[in-house]
C-alpha cells in the first residue's frame, strides 16, 4: 500500500529499493549516505521480500558484487558518497562495457580528496562525462526532494533494464539528510528466478540450461569487435536522448532571465525565482531531472527568449559548460555556486543574477 | 590392422568432456592451465551440475577461460572475482558458483576480495592457479614469485629485503574460520592430476552440501615466463616451488591439518 511517511532522503531511497522489488543491495558506510545501508539492515528486507543486503569490505567489492548479481539478471544496486563513488568507477565502467543493468547512487559531498562530509554537487563531470575509463555514459537522474529519492529508484531500475545499462542517481548530502514527507510506492514483487531465466536468458549467466552458454564480458580483443560494441553503446545513449529525457520548467513562460539548476541547488534556485519576482524581475528555472540526457533543445529554445542564463550549482561550475554548449552562444551564460560543502542561500543566488547577468554591460 | 579399423566406439578409452569447447587453447604449450580447466569441466560434467553452474573468470592468462569452458561465465575485473561470486551465490543460493583465478589476480590486486569472501565463508569454489609470475602481461613479478627468482620487474631476482617473501595466501585463508576446505595440488603428472581432480570434486560437493568456501590452489608452471622448456619448468617447479608451497590438504571439513 502506498503510504505517507516523514523520512530522510537516504531512508526513503532505501525503503524504495525494497518496494521496487530489488534483489540485492551491496554497500559500504560513508557519510553522508550511511543511512541507506543502516536502514536496510534494520528493516530486514530478506524477510520482507527476500532481498539480499550485504555490507561489503570496500566500495570496490560492493560495485563488483553489483556486477556479479547484475550479470545473472538480478536487480542489484549500491550507494555511496563522492570518495566512495570514485572507487566504484572501475566497476561502473565494466558494467557499461558488459552492458549490464544496475543502479548506483551518489549522495555527493564536497571534494576533491577526502574533502568534507557536507553537501556538494562537484561530481557532475564524473557522473555525466563518463567518470571511469572508456567510451561510455551513464543515464543520470538528479532527485531534488525526498519524494524523488523514493520515486527514482524504480525509475532507475526500469531504465537500467530497458537499456541493459548502469543508471546513476546523483543526489547530494542535502537531499540525503533532510527530512520531508514522502508518499511511498506500493510494494512490487521481486521477479521469480524462473521469470529471470525466461526473460533474460539471452544474455544472463544463470546456468546453461536448454541453451548455449552465456558469457558476460566487457573484453573484445579484436579492435573491430570492440569498436562495434562501443557503437552499440552509443546507439543506446542516442535512444536515451530521444526517449527518456526528463526536465522541469518553472515559471519559464514569461521569463526574461533563466536559472538552470538541478538537485538541491534547484530547490534553492526555485526560492530565488520567487524572491526575484517579488522584486519585479521575471526569472524562470529550468531543472534538468536527467543530467544525461541533458535538455539541450529546451535550453536552446529558451535562449531565444531570455536575456541571460545563470547556472546555479554547488560547485565551481561544471554543468555550466553543458549549458553553454546547448545555447550555442546566443545569450550570456554565467555560473554561480558555493562549493566545498558551503551552501548558497536564495538571496545569494538572486544577488548573483543581478550582478553577473542583469547589470552586466554585455546584455 | 589398419588405424581406421581401430577407431571404433568400443575401443574408446577417453572422451573429452563436452564442457570443454573445441576452441584452440590460448595457453603456451606445456602450461598447466589447460589441464586445470579440463579438470574443473570434467568434474562439473560428471556431477551433472552444468545447468546450475556459474563461473567467474579473472584477468590474467585465464582471462579468456570462457572461450574454453562451456559453462555460463561472467568475466570479472582484475582481482574482483570473489566479490562477483559472493553476489551470485547470495542471490542464487542453489547454484554452483566458482571462480578461476591466477596468483596476481587472487593474491595481489584481489587480496581484499579473496580474504573477505573466505572470511564470510561464501558457499563458492575458488580455483587458484599459482605459477609465481604474471604470464599474460609478459612475465612480471607476482606476489608468489620465489626469492631470488628473476622476472621482467625483478630482473636481478626477487629481493626479499625490499619485496618481502612470497605470499602464502592459501595458508593465510586456511586460518580464517570461514573456509571449509583448503588444499594445494598440482597438475604436472598423471598422479597429481588424479588427486587434483578429486579435490575439485570434493569442492563442488561441498557447495552442494552448503558447507561454505572451498579453496583449491594448483601450483603450476609458466615455462614461457620462467624461460624454460616445459619439462625443465616442471622439474624446476618440483625442486623450487613445492618446498615453499608444499602440496596436500591444509584444511579439511573446517579443521586445520597439523
Residue B150 burial (C-beta neighbours within 10 Å; 0-12, 13-18, 19+): middle
Average pLDDT over residues A60-81: 98
Q: What percent of chain A has pLDDT over 70?
A: 99
Tell whether A55 lies on the interface with B, counting CB pairs under 8 A. no
Quick one: pLDDT band at residue A363, thresholds 50, 70, 90?
Answer: very low
CATH architecture of the domain with range B27-132+142-147+163-256 = 3-Layer(aba) Sandwich (3.40)
H helices then E strands: how many in chain A? Answer: 14, 15
SS3 B154: strand
Partners of residue B53 in chain A, C-beta under 8 Å: 207-208
Strands (E), chain A: 3-8, 24-27, 52-55, 76-80, 102-108, 139-141, 166-172, 179-184, 215-216, 247-250, 257-260, 283-288, 290-292, 308-312, 333-336
Domain map (residue ranges) of chain A = 3-194, 247-358
**Domain A3-194 in CATH: superfamily?**
Thiamin diphosphate (ThDP)-binding fold, Pyr/PP domains (3.40.50.970)
Helix or strand run (H / E) with residue B127: strand B125-130
Q: How many residues does chain B have?
A: 258
Report the phi/psi class of residue B167: left, alpha or beta, with left for phi > 0 and alpha for psi in -120 to 50. beta
| Interface size, chain A vs chain B, as Cβ–Cβ contacts under 8 Å | 130
Give the CA angle between residues A267, A271, A272 to the nearest 5°: 110
Q: How do residues A125-167 score in pLDDT, each as one tens digit?
A: 999 998 999 999 999 999 999 999 999 999 999 999 999 999 9
Quick one: pLDDT band at residue A361, thresholds 50, 70, 90?
Answer: low
Q: How far is A307 from chain B (nearest CA, A)?
A: 50
Cross-chain residue pair A64–B50, CB shorter than 8 Å: no
Q: How far is A213 from chain B (nearest CA, A)?
A: 5
* String of DSSP letters for B166-216: PP-HHHHHHTSTTEEEEEEEE-SSHHHHHHHHHHHHHHHHHHHTT--EEEE
Long-range contacts of B60-64 (CB under 8 A, 24+ apart): B60/B101, B60/B102, B60/B104, B60/B105, B60/B134, B60/B135, B60/B136, B61/B27, B61/B31, B61/B33, B61/B102, B61/B135, B61/B136, B62/B33, B62/B37, B62/B100, B62/B101, B62/B102, B62/B129, B63/A219, B63/B136, B64/A219, B64/B26
Helix or strand run (H / E) with residue B248: strand B248-252
Is a pLDDT exceeding 70 seen at residue A80?
A: yes
Is a pLDDT exceeding 90 seen at residue A2?
A: no
Taking the alpha carbons at both ends of chain B, their separation in whole angstroms is 56
Partners of residue B116 in chain A, C-beta under 8 Å: 56-57, 61
Q: How far apart are CA A196 and CA A260, in angstroms?
A: 41
Average pLDDT over residues A227-252: 98
Q: How do residues B226-249 score in pLDDT, each as one tens digit?
A: 999 999 999 999 999 999 999 999
Task: State the pTM of this model.
Answer: 0.97
Q: What is the pLDDT of residue B4?
A: 84
Cross-chain residue pair B112–A57, CB shorter than 8 Å: yes
Query: pLDDT averaged over chain A?
Result: 97
Residues of B with CB under 8 A from a CB of A: 50-57, 63-64, 66, 70-77, 80, 83-88, 90-92, 95, 112-113, 115-116
Domain map (residue ranges) of chain B = 27-132+142-147+163-256
List average pLDDT for each run of 10 residues in chain B, which is 258 residues long.
84 91 95 97 98 97 95 98 98 98 98 98 98 94 97 96 97 98 98 98 98 98 96 98 98 94
Q: In this complex, which of B51, B75, B113 lies closest to A216 when CB atoms are compared?
A: B75
Diameter of chain A by CA atoms? 72
The sheet that has A52-55: what strands, in order across it? A52-55, A24-27, A76-80, A102-108, A166-172, A139-141, A290-292
The CATH fold assigned to A247-358 is Rossmann fold (3.40.50)
Q: How far apart are CA B201 and CA B42, in angstroms?
A: 9
Partners of residue B115 in chain A, C-beta under 8 Å: 57
Q: In this complex, which of A24, A206, A219 lies closest to B87 when CB atoms are compared?
A: A24
Q: Tell me which residues of chain A, numbers 216 to 275, contact chain B at a CB-CB cutoff of 8 Å.
A: 216-219
Distant-in-sequence, close-in-space partners of B4: CB < 8 Å, separation ≥ 6: none
Amino acid at each position: 500500500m502506498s503510504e505517507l511517511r516523514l523520512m530522510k532522503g537516504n531512508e526513503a531511497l532505501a525503503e524504495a529499493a525494497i518496494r521496487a522489488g530489488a534483489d540485492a543491495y551491496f554497500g559500504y558506510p560513508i557519510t553522508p549516505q550511511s543511512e541507506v545501508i543502516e536502514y536496510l539492515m534494520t528493516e530486514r528486507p530478506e524477510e520482507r521480500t527476500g532481498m539480499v543486503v550485504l555490507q561489503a569490505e570496500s566500495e570496490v567489492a560492493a560495485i563488483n558484487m553489483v556486477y556479479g548479481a547484475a550479470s545473472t539478471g538480478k536487480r542489484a544496486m549500491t550507494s555511496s558518497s563522492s570518495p566512495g563513488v570514485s572507487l566504484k568507477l572501475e566497476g561502473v565502467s565494466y558494467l557499461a562495457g558488459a552492458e549490464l543493468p544496475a543502479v548506483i547512487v551518489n549522495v555527493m559531498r564536497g571534494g576533491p580528496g577526502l574533502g568534507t562530509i557536507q553537501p556538494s554537487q562537484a561530481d557532475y563531470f564524473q557522473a555525466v562525462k563518463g567518470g571511469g575509463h572508456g567510451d561510455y555514459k551513464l543515464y543520470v537522474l538528479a532527485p531534488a526532494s525526498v519524494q524523488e529519492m523514493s520515486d527514482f529508484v524504480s525509475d532507475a531500475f526500469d531504465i537500467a533494464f530497458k537499456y541493459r545499462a548502469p543508471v546513476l542517481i546523483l543526489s547530494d548530502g542535502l537531499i540525503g539528510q533532510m527530512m520531508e514527507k514522502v508518499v511511498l510506492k506500493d510494494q512490487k514483487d521481486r521477479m521469480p528466478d524462473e521469470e529471470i531465466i525466461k526473460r533474460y536468458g539471452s544474455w544472463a549467466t544463470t546456468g546453461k540450461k536448454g541453451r548455449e552458454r552465456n558469457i558476460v564480458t566487457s573484453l573484445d580483443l579484436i579492435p573491430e569487435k570492440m569498436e562495434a560494441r562501443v557503437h552499440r553503446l552509443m546507439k543506446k545513449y542516442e535512444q536515451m536522448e530521444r526517449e527518456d529525457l526528463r526536465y522541469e520548467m518553472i515559471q519559464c513562460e514569461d521569463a526574461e532571465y533563466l536559472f538552470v539548476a538541478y538537485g538541491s541547488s534547484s530547490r534553492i534556485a526555485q526560492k530565488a525565482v520567487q524572491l526575484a519576482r517579488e522584486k519585479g524581475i521575471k526569472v524562470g528555472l529550468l531543472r534538468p531531472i536527467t543530467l544525461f540526457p541533458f535538455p539541450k533543445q529546451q535550453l536552446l529554445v529558451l535562449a531565444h527568449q531570455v536575456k541571460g542564463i545563470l547556472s546555479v550549482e554547488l560547485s565551481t561550475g561544471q554543468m555550466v559548460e553543458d549549458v553553454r554548449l546547448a545555447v550555442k552562444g546566443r545569450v550570456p551564460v554565467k555560473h554561480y555556486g558555493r562549493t566545498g560543502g558551503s551552501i548558497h542561500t536564495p538571496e545569494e543566488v538572486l544577488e548573483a543574477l543581478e550582478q553577473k547577468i542583469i547589470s552586466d554591460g554585455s546584455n | 590392422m589398419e588405424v581406421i579399423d581401430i577407431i571404433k566406439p568400443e575401443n574408446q578409452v577417453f572422451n573429452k568432456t563436452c564442457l570443454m569447447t573445441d576452441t584452440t587453447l590460448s595457453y603456451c604449450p606445456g602450461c598447466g592451465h589447460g589441464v586445470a580447466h579440463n579438470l574443473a569441466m570434467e568434474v562439473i560434467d560428471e556431477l551433472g551440475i552444468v545447468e546450475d553452474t556459474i563461473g567467474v573468470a579473472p584477468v590474467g592468462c585465464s582471462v579468456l577461460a570462457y572461450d574454453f569452458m562451456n559453462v555460463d561465465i561472467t568475466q570479472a575485473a582484475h582481482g574482483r572475482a570473489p566479490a562477483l561470486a559472493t553476489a551470485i551465490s547470495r542471490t542464487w543460493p542453489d547454484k554452483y558458483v566458482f571462480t578461476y583465478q591466477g596468483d596476481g589476480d587472487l593474491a595481489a590486486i584481489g587480496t581484499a576480495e579473496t580474504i573477505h569472501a573466505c572470511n564470510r565463508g561464501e558457499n563458492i569454489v575458488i580455483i587458484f592457479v599459482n605459477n609465481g609470475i604474471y604470464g599474460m602481461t609478459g612475465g612480471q613479478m607476482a606476489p608468489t614469485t620465489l626469492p631470488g627468482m628473476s622476472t621482467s620487474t625483478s630482473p636481478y631476482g626477487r629481493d626479499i629485503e625490499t619485496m618481502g617473501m612470497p605470499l602464502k595466501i592459501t595458508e593465510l585463508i586456511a586460518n580464517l574460520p570461514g573456509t571449509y576446505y583448503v588444499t594445494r595440488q598440482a597438475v604436472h603428472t598423471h598422479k597429481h592430476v588424479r588427486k587434483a581432480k578429486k579435490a575439485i570434486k570434493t569442492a563442488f560437493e561441498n557447495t552442494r552440501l552448503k558447507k561454505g568456501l572451498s579453496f583449491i590452489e594448483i601450483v603450476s608452471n609458466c615455462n614461457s615466463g620462467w624461460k624454460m622448456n616445459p619439462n625443465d619448468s616442471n622439474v624446476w617447479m618440483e625442486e623450487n616451488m613445492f618446498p615453499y608451497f608444499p602440496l596436500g590438504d591444509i584444511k579439511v571439513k573446517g579443521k586445520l591439518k597439523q
